[in-house]
């Protein structure tokens, strides 16, 4: 079985980070500080990184039906 490698463009990351910025702001997070300004981008990157390996690994495909 051939593994499919995921790719997400920087444009997509920026778009999704914008969505997260809206969500975090709605939840009351102040994104204007130097400590929180990059939080939406870091969140999206962490989500992408933490799901690495779910893209065609035969062990995962057996555990989670993809049909």
- Segments making up each domain of the chain, as ranges: 10-25+35-63
**Average pLDDT score over residue span 24-42:** 97
Would you state the pLDDT for residue 54? 66
Per-residue pLDDT tens digits for 41-60:
999 999 998 887 766 666 66
User: Of 50 and 4, which is predicted with more confidence?
Assistant: 50
Measured CA to CA in angstroms, residue 47 lies from 22, 25, 33, 58 at distances of: 17, 19, 22, 21
pTM for the full model? 0.72
CA-based torsion, 16, 18, 20, 26: positive or negative: negative
Distances from the Cα of 17 to the Cα of 4, 11, 25, 40, angstroms: 24, 10, 12, 5
Q: If residue 63 lies in a helix (H) or strand (E), which one and from where to where?
A: helix 58-63
Asked if residues 17 and 41 have their Cβ atoms less than 8 Å apart, the reply is yes
Q: What is the pLDDT of residue 7?
A: 84
For residues 14-36, average pLDDT: 97
- Looking at residue 64, its pLDDT comes to 54
């Amino acid at each position: 079985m051939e593994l499919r490698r995921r790719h997400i463009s920087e444009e997509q990351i920026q778009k999704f980070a914008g969505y997260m910025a809206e969500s975090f702001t709605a939840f009351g997070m102040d994104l204007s500080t130097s400590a929180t300004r990059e939080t939406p981008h870091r969140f999206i990157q962490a989500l992408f990184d933490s799901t690495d390996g779910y893209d065609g690994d035969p062990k995962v495909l057996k555990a989670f039906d993809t049909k």
